[in-house]
Amino acid sequence: MLLRSEDHFAREHLKRNPAAFVGIVVFGFVNSCASFLLPVSIGEFFALHFHSQSSKAALLQTLGIHVESLQAFFLLFGAVLIAKAIAGYIENVATFSQGELFVKHLREKVFGSQINAEPNSKGSYGKYLLRYSNDMKAVQNYFSKGILGAIKNGLFLLTGTAMIAAINPMLTLILLSLLLLATGAIYCLSAYQRPFISTSRSNRSSLLAFVARSFSRFDKLKQRQLEQGAVDEFNRRSVDLYDANMRSNKIESLVQVTSAFLIFVMIGIVLWQMTMPYVHIRSSDGVMIMLMILMMQGALRGLLRVPAFLNKGRISLEKIENILVQGVTP
Amino acid sequence: MLLRSEDHFAREHLKRNPAAFVGIVVFGFVNSCASFLLPVSIGEFFALHFHSQSSKAALLQTLGIHVESLQAFFLLFGAVLIAKAIAGYIENVATFSQGELFVKHLREKVFGSQINAEPNSKGSYGKYLLRYSNDMKAVQNYFSKGILGAIKNGLFLLTGTAMIAAINPMLTLILLSLLLLATGAIYCLSAYQRPFISTSRSNRSSLLAFVARSFSRFDKLKQRQLEQGAVDEFNRRSVDLYDANMRSNKIESLVQVTSAFLIFVMIGIVLWQMTMPYVHIRSSDGVMIMLMILMMQGALRGLLRVPAFLNKGRISLEKIENILVQGVTP
């Protein structure tokens, strides 16, 4: 992810709250490890219960965990599940909290800057109100689902890939190259989506500006009986907004479908590799790898949506930056 | 889900677009079936490749599908995967489109009603602008992620449960009672969250109203040098908004963590049942059921978030309804 000039807000926020940032990464990592230990322990269960040999026992033993009975398995499974729930809850709350704090700091800065501005730079305040609502939401998503999301989901996928690599390095190489190929394709899609998001945003702005303008000359409209003209004009802009949103939504749908598709293509590759005579993947290992890949689906979807959140947030940050610059040097 | 008076907008929209609604349900169902056929076919692969017997071959045969070789398996897997991608894309686009159309219709109605209102009922238009941005977003989520989401995710879970029931009815009963118990708990959580969402919304409104008020008496503030007082007041409201949002976010985090937790408790139950001497679940059946349960995670999370979207959307619809009623009979 290339950082742009609008991202200095986020960098400054992360520098102001290093402890929270480290906390999110650490609890996120605990959550990732616990998530992938679940499939590993399930694979262990299959090996134990169906008396097949398994190579991931080695993986558990590296971590100092020995599962020798079904009872021990259920204890391990329960403990990992509880650890995952606690770490996941802390990670979620901390991520939400950082997103809210980021936006809180920004809106306070914007208000302070606007209220201290020269009277003549005030402009129409209707326009400014949107900076405090719509743009702040986009900025919050940019921070929590964009920047923190990229770190969190990236780390999750890396942990999973490392664990699969510990079981079967060759398979991991194939899966990894597929993932990289897909990431490239998604970044192209996202670059293609960017102008549509801009159009959609500017259509919404122009619709709102039109509403504000219509109401500011409400009495004039009434006197000249121009209401119907205003309604027609509003509906025309409303259709434009719908069209622009739908173009962006279609790409979003494609990204969503792609993530599920990719996960099963990866599972298909695992199954295909299992049929190869030169690869030795036992049934319990196959189960475990498939479960791990399925667990990655949410993180992959999150990662694929990162560019969209960054795009939307940066557009809003640009507008906010303009206010801040105007406020200080009118 | 109990329908409330605010929901008549959604009912009317669905009646206006019955074909789109049926299309979403049908393509959603195709998507659900394809999604669950993937684990079924993977189970079949395990049975074929590791020469274990399987009972879900019966399930595939009911559908007229015979998998006798690995080649046939990969053909089936690829075909189902492509069917799932196409149905999923159509379903997603149609859902987005209905959400956008619902909101488009509403905003055109609101504008028409406001512009035709009596001059004295105009009020401050800054307040109205939010009806066209924030509230419309909440209404769109209410419709696409609330109402359509409930239907879509509910149907997905039902399809999955029916398929698991075809394999092992006893197990399904246990899982189903767990699901119902969890749904009850989530609805209690959601009732508990409702006042927090209201506080959070009214804090945001009061913050925006404060911004609008400050700017409308901007010159007066400047003359009397009350800028610092306004900034302090703004920051106080900003902290209130942060606190209210975080209370609501904590419950949202709990709901998110609960869905992952539940899925693995269900998998744990399946594994535990597999160890019981009176239950006969083969290894390939166990793999298949586990994969099916994991596939349900996204739908379960979607279903658990439905009450939050409905809550938020209904609050906005109430405000919009007020405008419509005021506009017609001032």
Question: What's the pLDDT tens digit per position in A141-165?
Answer: 999 999 999 999 999 999 999 888 8
Q: Which residue has the higher pLDDT, B287 or B217?
A: B287
How many contacts, defined by CB atoms under 8 Å, are there between A and B? 240
Range in A82-86, B170-174, B237-241 with the lowest mean pLDDT: B170-174
Confidence of residue A78 (pLDDT cuts 50, 70, 90): very high
What pLDDT, in 10s, does the model give residues A175-214?
888 888 887 887 788 778 778 888 888 888 888 888 878 8
d(CA A247, CA B175): 41
CB-CB under 8 Å, B49 with A212: no
Inter-chain residue contact A114 with B46, CB threshold 8 Å? no
Contacts of B264 in chain A (CB under 8 A): 38, 77, 81, 84
Contact A125 B212 (CB under 8 A): yes
Q: Which CATH class is domain B5-328?
A: mainly alpha
CB B76 within 8 A of CB B203: no
- Which residues of chain A have a CB within 8 Å of the CB of B70? 275
Please name the residue of chain B whose CA is at the shortest distance from the CA of residue A209.
B129
CB spacing of A100 vs B249 below 8 angstroms: yes
Query: Distance between CA A88 and CA A79 in Å, rounded?
Result: 14
H-assigned helices in B168-226: 169-216, 218-223
Q: Which residues of B touch A252 (CB under 8 A)?
A: 92, 96
Per-residue pLDDT of B53-70, as tens digits, reads 555 555 666 666 667 788
Average pLDDT of chain B, as a whole number: 83
Q: Choose between A300 and A118: higher pLDDT.
A: A300
B20 interaction partners in chain A (CB closer than 8 Å)? none
Residues 6+ apart with CB under 8 A from B224: none
What pLDDT score does A94 carry?
A: 94
Mean pLDDT of B1-11: 72
Residue/partner pairs of B188-191 with CB below 8 Å, 24 or more apart: B189/B251, B189/B254, B189/B255, B190/B255, B190/B307, B190/B308, B190/B311
Closest residue, chain B, to A86 (C-alpha): B257
For residue range A126-142, list pLDDT tens digits in order: 566 667 777 888 899 99
Q: What is the DSSP letter of B224?
A: T
- Note the pLDDT of residue B1: 46
Closest Cα in chain A, distance from residue B6 (Å): 23
Q: Which residues in chain A touch residue B84, judged by CB atoms under 8 angstroms apart? A: 260-261, 264
**Could you tell me the two tokens for B97?**
């489109």
Are B233 and B277 contacting, i.e. CB atoms less than 8 angstroms apart? no
Residue B112 has pLDDT above 60, yes or no: yes
Nearest CB among A50, A111, A290 relative to B234 is that of A111
Tell me whether residues B211 and A129 touch, CB distance under 8 A: yes
From chain B, the residues in CB contact with A256 under 8 A are: 88, 92
Q: Of B42, B95, B236, B320, which to mutate for an interface test with A (greatest number of A Cβ within 10 Å)?
A: B42
pLDDT at site B57 = 57
What integer is the mean pLDDT of B300-306?
A: 86
Task: Give tens-digit pLDDT for B230-282.
Answer: 889 999 999 999 999 999 899 888 888 888 888 899 999 888 888 887 777 77
Q: Do B129 and A130 touch (CB under 8 A)?
A: yes
Which of B125, B219, B250 faces A212 most closely, judged by CB atoms? B125
What's the mean pLDDT in A221-232? 82
Nearest-CA neighbor of B20 among B108, B91, B109, B86? B91
- Mean pLDDT over A298-303 rounds to 87
pLDDT value, residue A328: 43
Lowest mean pLDDT across A51-55, B8-12, B93-97: A51-55
pLDDT > 80? residue A22: yes
In the predicted structure, residue B129 carries a pLDDT above the cut 80: no
Domain boundaries defined on chain B: 5-328
Banded pLDDT at A329 (limits 50, 70, 90): very low
Choose among B107, B129, B249: nearest Cβ to A96: B249
pLDDT of residue B98 exceeding 80, the answer is yes
Nearest residue in chain A measured CA to CA from B263:
A81
pLDDT for A1 equals 45
- pLDDT class of B328 with cuts at 50, 70, 90: very low
With CA atoms as reference, the chain A residue closest to B132 would be A208
Instruction: Write down the pLDDT at residue A330.
Output: 32
Has residue A233 got a pLDDT over 60? yes
User: Measured between CA atoms, how close is A114 to chain B, in angstroms?
Assistant: 9
Q: What pLDDT is recorded for position A155?
A: 92
Residues of B in contact with A297 (CB under 8 A): 298
Query: Residues of chain B with pLDDT > 90: what percent?
Result: 24
Residue B329 clears pLDDT 50, i.e. is over it: no
Tell me what pLDDT residue A52 has.
58
A57/B215: higher pLDDT: B215
